[in-house]
Amino acid sequence: MAERGAEARMLDYGWGDGVPHTQAYLIRPLLCFLELGPGSGSRVLDLGCGNGALCDLLHQRGYRVVGVDPSPSGIAVAQRRHPTITFHQAVASAEELKALSLPPFDVVISTEVVKHCFSPRDWATAAFEALRPGGQLICSTPYHGYLKNLTLAASGRLDAHFTALWEGGHIKFWSRRSLSQLLQEAGFQDLHCRGAGRLPGMWKSMLMAGWKPL
């Protein structure tokens, strides 16, 4: 019972009304990737939707959005602030998404989620199985490449950047190569990557898009 309580605390990041779900610097490259997909009116799953802020942005642009997140506080805020959008409390696993009996989606968006996943292959499989054939995944995570890591080390900020003292926090650190491998293992094809925030090679995050084969 104690272990279950600890797990519940880790799943809830204390979302509030004023906490942005998706940082502003991610929106433009995300929308650029989204324009490669089926367009306005398509079904979108926000996998790890937080307080629903991104769901609302996409809803206003004409997408039919469903949000899923394990955080009780996030889903409570999302349902209160965006009552015309459907939200479900569930973790990013194929088993839990299947239990929701949701029709296949045209697009799955998952921003800054995979860095928190104990089992990232479960997350990737969930995204893959939630899509229709030909569907698109767009995900983001903090960027880690040689130049950025070297700069952090030289500046003495590496320990602070990778701190283990943040309650919850980031437990997986991804490079373009490792994230590409994860998505390819899950079955995604035709991967594309964009950096976001700061200068090339020093990006805050990277976004990657891939497609489920027809």
pLDDT at residue 1 above 60? no
Res 43 pLDDT > 90: yes
Q: Strand pairing of 189-196 and 205-211?
A: antiparallel
The Cα–Cα gap between 97 and 147 comes to 38
- Ordered structural domains, the chain, with CATH: 2-211 (3.40.50.150)
Name the pTM for this structure. 0.86
How buried is residue 33: exposed, middle or buried, by Cβ count under 10 Å (0-12/13-18/19+)? buried
pLDDT reading at 176 higher than 60: yes
Indicate the average pLDDT of the chain.
85
Q: What's the confidence (pLDDT) of residue 19?
A: 61
Residues in CB range of 112: below 8 A, 6 or more apart: 22, 23, 26, 48, 140, 141, 142, 205
Average confidence (pLDDT) over 89-117 = 94
Residue 119 has pLDDT above 70, yes or no: yes
Q: What are the contacts of 6-11 at 24+ separation with CB within 8 A? A: 8/72, 10/168, 11/70, 11/71, 11/72, 11/91
